[in-house]
Amino acid sequence: MIAKRNVLKPAAWLGALALVTAAGFVANGPAAAEGRAIPAPAVDESVGAGLETVTLAGGCFWGVQGVFQHVDGVTRAVSGYAGGASSTATYAKVGDGDTGHAEAVQVTFDRTKVSLGKILQVYFSVAHDPTTLNRQGPDRGQQYRSAVFASSAEQARIAKAYVAQLDAAGAYGDRIVTKVEQGQAFYPAEAYHQDYMVRNPRDAYIVYNDAPKVEALRRLLPDVYRATPALVSGAGG
């Protein structure tokens, strides 16, 4: 199992699991991520043909990738890095927290099956907590920040409008800290990070932090959930 930087060691994760309270929390952070029911975007793109790509950062890319691999209409979800230079787009360097990169997932989706707005609804409701600054669960650092790396001005407009909509509705109680950026390059992560959740379902980090997100997707957004993930390796889909 790959060691995560700035997180508990596997043995400690197993111990932490025993500390789950009736309220669904442990001393080190939220237990099973239950997700949050939020309204769909009031501003969305029109249905169209072809594929579209958006890059999303929301903590460790293992879980974000795992969620979007289970979204119907997503043809590919690749873990990687965005926000920094090509020379520092490696797991070892990004883990230091000073490269400008965020762990991110480039999501490619079929516009005839799912819209950008629905992708963003999944992102804000079950893929991560958009109200924690440079932190997701046990992970700390700028590389775990919440960010939408838009591939066009239209994507940026829709994402910003959705953030404003959710904040105005008080959807979370706290203000959203997600940044919407445009023009940032995406660099795929090392091969051993791809399809990590599917290949390591018993990893304590996955069991505790990420598998519940996929269950929340199935429960809260059944209209876009699919059981078979779209894998980078090419199997499934």
Q: Which residues are catalytic?
A: 60
- As a whole number of angstroms, the distance between CA 50 and CA 113 comes to 10
* Number of residues that make up the chain: 237
Cβ(38)–Cβ(233) under 8 Å? no
* Residue 219 to residue 92: CA distance in whole angstroms: 36
How many CB atoms sit inside 10 A of residue 55's CB?
24
- What is the CA 161 to chain-centroid distance, rounded? 19
CB of 231 closer than 8 Å to CB of 198: yes
